[in-house]
Amino acid sequence: MSFAARWEGLAPELKSVLRIVLGFLFMQHGLMKFTGWPMPMPPGVDVSLMSQTGIGGIIEGVGGFLLLIGLFTRPVAFVASGEMAVAYFQFHFPNGVWPMVNQGETAVLYCFVWLYFSAAGAGPWSVDAAMKKP
């Protein structure tokens, strides 16, 4: 078997690795809003739980954890994708059309990667996959 064929055969596992890494990174955005980890919010920014930023933090923190472990991946990824679309158009797009200019690249990437996972599922290394096994 060729290297290319073996590498292609790893696609399902690499899909899981992508979900795990991005779930961990996404979760940090939510944790930052409520705990100040891994970095504090800017001075003077107080996040109320029921504010738009607070709800976004819940989606990012809890949703990021669920995506990290691969539990309820499709619906959670769909909600997270929508949150990132809102974040882009509400906070980045008014500062310019191009994501490189308006600092919205991360929001765009998360939006479309989570949209992909909402359709593709979590991959084999996930709680979702473990729950399907007999």
**What are the extents of the domains in the chain?**
12-132
The CA-atom distances, in angstroms, between 103 and each of 79, 80, 100 are: 22, 19, 6
Overall pTM surpassing 0.95 (yes/no): no
pLDDT 10s digits, 103-116: 999 999 999 999 99
pLDDT 10s digits, 87-104: 999 999 999 999 999 999
The CA-atom distances, in angstroms, between 79 and each of 12, 16, 27, 68, 87 are: 23, 19, 14, 15, 12
For 117, counting Cβ atoms within 10 Å of its Cβ (0-12 exposed, 13-18 middle, 19+ buried), the class is buried
Instruction: Collapse the DSSP code of 16 into the 3-class scheme (helix H, G, I; strand E, B; otherwise coil) and give the result.
Output: helix
pLDDT 10s digits, 34-67: 898 898 888 888 888 899 999 999 999 999 999 9
